[in-house]
Structure 1
Amino acid sequence: MSHIVFLLVPGVHLLDLAGPAQAFSTAADFGHPYTLGYVAEQALLPTAQGLPLVARLDWPELGPEDLIVVPGWRARTLAGSPAIGAAFLRSLRDHHDRGGTVASVCAGAEALGRAGLLDGRRCTTHHDVQDELARRYPRATVVRDVLYTADDRVVTSAGIASGIDLALHLIATRHGPAVAAQVARDMVVYARRNGHEPQASAMLRYRSHLDDTVHHAQDLLDARFDQPLPLSALAAAVGVSDRTLTRLFTRATGLTPLRYQQTLRLERAEHLISHGTTVDAAAGAVGFADARMLRRLRAREH
């Protein structure tokens, strides 16, 4: 069981909180055991959008596998942010010291800075306060204009909706990109990653569409990319003809189903090879009958 605890301050932005909360809740719906909790220094908490929230005043017992998230709040400047008590800041530090992960959305990076968790680490925040964050915490490296950063179990994201990207990244890190893509699909959002970097996984890179039939086919291919899966069987499984599936799949992803499966195999093979597996062994592990096809795909890719 993993606890996801949101540290809330007065004036918290609802989407800063609701975006990652929805992502982890959806992952729990798919069988990944998350328990969400909300702590604050006052039981009834005003939000930036006017909807009051009820939070607990005490922290649950947390272990290294658990996560604390600090959503952002409404403030013109980080210096003018709401006060956060020394005990709550100490709880952030202690959790990280014990091997846990801490994360922030938008202005929530200010809380991590006050706790001393940004020193010597890469971080980001909303573009309106990036310069101020860099001035306030000169020992931190503020990365501008990216969706999120991750550095030594300190994960920070940009403004508002980027909290969803942060949550999807953490889900992908813990459970793999297929689960993150499944969550993104259920939430009807793009499975995005850092804005300045390409998608790190084909399972995420080709999910930026809303065609449910193609998503279903991709789910099957993601789960069985190392097994024979003829086009006719794939089409039958999603309830369309071979020709229709090829047309829909190509329109949504730019690839045929076969090329998508080969891309998944190639990506996994490259990972194995980079960790010392021979080309022949990697080819067998990802489902190629022999290594010649893998060598041809690698040559074409490079």
Structure 2
Amino acid sequence: MTRVVFVLVPGVHLLDLAGPAQVFSTVGQFGRPYELTYLAEDARVPSAQGLPLLAETEWPELRADDLLVVPGWSGPALRDSPPIGDEMLRRLRAHHAAGGTVASVCAGAEALGRAGLLDGRRCTTHHDVQDELASRHPGAIVVRDVLFTTDDRVVTSAGIASGIDLALHLVAARHGPALAARVAREMVVHTRRNGHEPQSSAMLRHRAHLDDAVHRVQDLIDERFTVPLPLAALASFAGVSARTLTRRFGSATQGLTPLRYQQTLRLERAEHLLGHGATMESAAREVGFEDARMLRRLRGRPAAGGDPRPT
């Protein structure tokens, strides 16, 4: 079972913590359980909202597929952040060096910066402290006005509610966009937030519409994007003609056809696999292509719907 360790510091913002924790807890309802651990240097952790929290103080044994998440905390400036011990910073560095993913919400990026994990990497944080983060960690590539970034297993989000977007992105990357969509619906949150974030999945970018028939077709494509899905079968599933489905799908998704939407999901999954060491041939076959030729062709053309190429 994959473990998610939330690293807490005094003054932690409750939503920075509770949002991602709720996402990973909800994933377990759909057959992908996560073990959630809350860790701090002191067992009693005061929150910014006045609710005291209890945390463990002994670090668990971590594997490469486990996640470390540092939620943000209250404070007017990063320079006034609570003390973050050397052992905590060492653990963050060691987990990343061992192949693990390290994430932060809001001011939590400061902890990653102190651990040296932002040097040469794209990152973001709450808009109030973006300039200070760039000043304090000049080796970091601070990206402004985005919900979250991901760069070489270092994932950072803008703050507060954007921690939910970050967690849904991680679920989509690990388990596919269909499961992320189910989690979002269970939590009654939008599966797409305003703004064009290159790291968000196609599922997140193309769900900001109110066409229920198109949503149902997207659900089916999300779940079965690795197999052939003829337009006639999708139209029958939606209870409309193929021509009507094509028109309504394009209107709802900024000009995509069902096939282009499916190809976008295949491409994003293949990019994820390639980024984790898969060969072009193996990635192509895992996402449903007969060989790597179509994958190479898709990687060479502009991204669907004018959206940024996934990275």
What interval of TM-score do these two structures reach, taking the shorter chain for normalisation? Answer: 0.7 to 0.9
Segments of structure 1 that go 5 or more residues without pairing to the other structure are: 236-240
Aligned to 1:234: 237
Give the secondary structure class of the aligned counterpart of 1:50. Answer: coil
Summarize the Cα distance change of 1:107–1:172 in structure 2 as closer, same or farther, 3 Å threshold.
same
Q: Distance in 1 between matches of 2:173 and 2:52?
A: 33
Aligned to 1:154: 154
Summarize the Cα distance change of 1:101–1:286 in structure 2 as closer, same or farther, 3 Å threshold.
closer
Q: Tell me by how many angstroms 1:230 deviates.
A: 2.9
Summarize the Cα distance change of 1:37–1:210 in structure 2 as closer, same or farther, 3 Å threshold.
farther
For 2:260, which of 260, 263, 267 is the aligned residue? 263
Q: Is the 8 A contact 1:193 1:199 kept in 2?
A: no
Aligned AA (2:237): L
Summarize the Cα distance change of 1:68–1:50 in structure 2 as closer, same or farther, 3 Å threshold.
same
Q: Is the 8 A contact 1:268 1:286 kept in 2?
A: no
Give the secondary structure class of the aligned counterpart of 2:150. Answer: strand
Q: Tell me by how many angstroms 1:18 deviates.
A: 0.8
- Residues 209-252 of structure 1: CA deviation (Å, up to 9, x unaligned): 467665444322332452346357414xxxxx548xx69x94x9
Q: Tell me by how many angstroms 1:112 deviates.
A: 0.9
Aligned to 1:7: 7
Aligned to 2:96: 96
Give the secondary structure class of the aligned counterpart of 1:6. Answer: strand
TM-score, length of structure 1 as denominator length: 0.79
TM-score, length of structure 2 as denominator length: 0.76
Aligned to 2:309: none
Q: Is the 8 A contact 1:222 1:264 kept in 2?
A: no
Superposed, which structure 2 residues align to 1:39-188 within 5 Å?
39-188=39-188
Aligned AA (2:127): H
- Residues 127-152 of structure 1: CA deviation (Å, up to 9, x unaligned): 11111111111111211111111111
Give the secondary structure class of the aligned counterpart of 1:254. Answer: helix
Summarize the Cα distance change of 1:190–1:233 in structure 2 as closer, same or farther, 3 Å threshold.
same
Q: Distance in 1 between matches of 2:264 and 2:280?
A: 15
Q: Is the 8 A contact 2:125 2:156 kept in 1?
A: yes
Q: Distance in 1 between matches of 2:194 and 2:93?
A: 26
Q: Tell me by how many angstroms 1:200 deviates.
A: 5.8
Q: Is the 8 A contact 1:70 1:104 kept in 2?
A: yes
Summarize the Cα distance change of 1:214–1:140 in structure 2 as closer, same or farther, 3 Å threshold.
same
Q: Distance in 1 between matches of 2:305 and 2:17?
A: 40
- Residues 154-212 of structure 1: CA deviation (Å, up to 9, x unaligned): 11111211111111111122122222222222222222379344686443332224676
Q: Is the 8 A contact 2:207 2:215 kept in 1?
A: yes
Q: Distance in 2 between matches of 1:30 and 1:43?
A: 31
Q: Distance in 2 between matches of 1:130 and 1:224?
A: 40
Q: Which runs of 4+ in 1 moved over 6 A?
A: 210-213, 269-272, 274-277, 298-302
Give % identity: 62
Q: Distance in 2 between matches of 1:270 and 1:115?
A: 33
Aligned AA (2:110): E
Segments of structure 2 that go 5 or more residues without pairing to the other structure are: 307-311
The structure having more radius of gyration, on CA atoms, is 1
Aligned AA (1:234): F
Aligned AA (2:102): V
Give the secondary structure class of the aligned counterpart of 1:75. Answer: coil
Q: Is the 8 A contact 1:190 1:209 kept in 2?
A: no
Q: Is the 8 A contact 2:148 2:197 kept in 1?
A: no
Q: Distance in 1 between matches of 2:199 and 2:12?
A: 30
Aligned AA (1:173): A
Q: Tell me by how many angstroms 1:47 deviates.
A: 0.7
Give the secondary structure class of the aligned counterpart of 1:63. Answer: coil
Q: Is the 8 A contact 1:146 1:194 kept in 2?
A: no
